[in-house]
Structure 1
Amino acid sequence: MKPKHQRLALAGAALAALGIAATLALPALKDQAAYFYAPADVAAKGVTPGQAIRLGGLVEKGSLTRSADGLTIHFRVTDRLESVPVAYTGIVPDLFREGQGMIADGRFDADGTFRAETLLAKHDENYMPPEVAKAVEKAEAAAKARPETPTP
């Protein structure tokens, strides 16, 4: 075989191997993707139980409870428009507290509770994760745009 044909065969084999690798890798990566949702997005779009998502917002004040084992906590995440119940079992970050920004990766169960597998808390007083900040701003703008209903 001439050197030119050898190079073409090698290039063709390399492209075929790359195509096979991409075909195998992309579906696996899609299963690992977690899309960010704020509580208002969960309420508006709905989420399938078992679907992996990233939930972010503020820990609702007065909602944090700890179980007797000390490892499981229950709380609500809000974007000041909607709120979602969350359960997490594991070591809670030191900076995790009510009224602070947080992001959790996990899945919803059949009863609508978000089962967090990882829990991240904001790391200083001035920082809020960008996704959470955008979601809270969006929810506040939507709340201001709603017409007020008179109370009887």
Structure 2
Amino acid sequence: MTMPAVRRKGWSRKQKRLATIAGLALVVALAAALVLTALRDQIVFFYAPSDIIAREVAPGTPIRLGGLVKDGSWQRDGQNNSFVVTDGAQDIAARYVGILPDLFREGQGVVAEGRLEPDGSFTATNVLAKHDENYVPKEVVDALKASGEWRPEAAQ
């Protein structure tokens, strides 16, 4: 007499493989969510002065500051440069030690990388140049239009 086939309790190879794939997909999705959450505020190319003040950015936080160099604000002493970046609504004083790009001028768009100081000023580690006399970064134009300070003649 033959014994009936006894089915083993447990998972088959196919079920184990599917469970492993599902587990790996869950880990990858969780890792992606954590990375995107951590980078949420850094995905923006730069912050206008109004954004920095509204968000109450903590001193020492590495950020990019963008706007227009306020007329009459640029002072230089050798390689020590100080200027004011404005979006028309708010101003932030900035300092940069080094040689500025040839096309850096008052009344023109600028994006500076650096950090906010405890006194509310900005210390730049890098100042980004525009490509030609007519170029103003799109983000600067959008911020100026939003504040009602956009002057198309300044971009020409």
Q: TM over 0.5, yes or no?
A: yes
2:68 is aligned with 1:75: no
Q: Which has the higher helix share?
A: 1
5 Å-filtered alignment, 1:3-152, equals 3-19=13-29, 21-22=31-32, 25-26=35-36, 28-30=38-40, 32-33=42-43, 36-68=46-78, 70=79, 72-140=80-148
* Unpaired runs of at least 5, structure 2: 1-10, 150-156
Residue identity in the other structure for 1:55: L
CA contact (8 A) 1:34 1:105 kept: no
1:108 CA displacement: 1.2
CA contact (8 A) 2:109 2:136 kept: yes
The CA distance in 2 between the partners of 1:137 and 1:31, in whole Å, is 22
The CA distance in 2 between the partners of 1:16 and 1:46, in whole Å, is 35
- Compute the TM-score of the two structures, normalised by the length of structure 2: 0.70
| % identical equivalent positions | 47
Residue identity in the other structure for 1:132: V
| Pairwise CA RMSD | 2.9
**Residues 86-95 or 54-63, more deviating:** 86-95
CA contact (8 A) 2:103 2:133 kept: no
**Residues 33-42 or 132-141, more deviating:** 33-42
Deviations 1:63-107 (A, max 9, x none): 212233x2x311111223332100123442222122210112222
1:131 CA displacement: 1.3
CA gap 1:91/1:28 in 2 versus in 1, 3 angstroms: farther
Deviations 1:105-139 (A, max 9, x none): 22210111111232112212222111111122222
Deviations 1:49-75 (A, max 9, x none): 22333221111122212233x2x3111
CA gap 1:12/1:47 in 2 versus in 1, 3 angstroms: closer
1:11 CA displacement: 0.6
State the aligned residue count.
140
CA gap 1:25/1:109 in 2 versus in 1, 3 angstroms: same
* Unpaired runs of at least 5, structure 1: 142-152
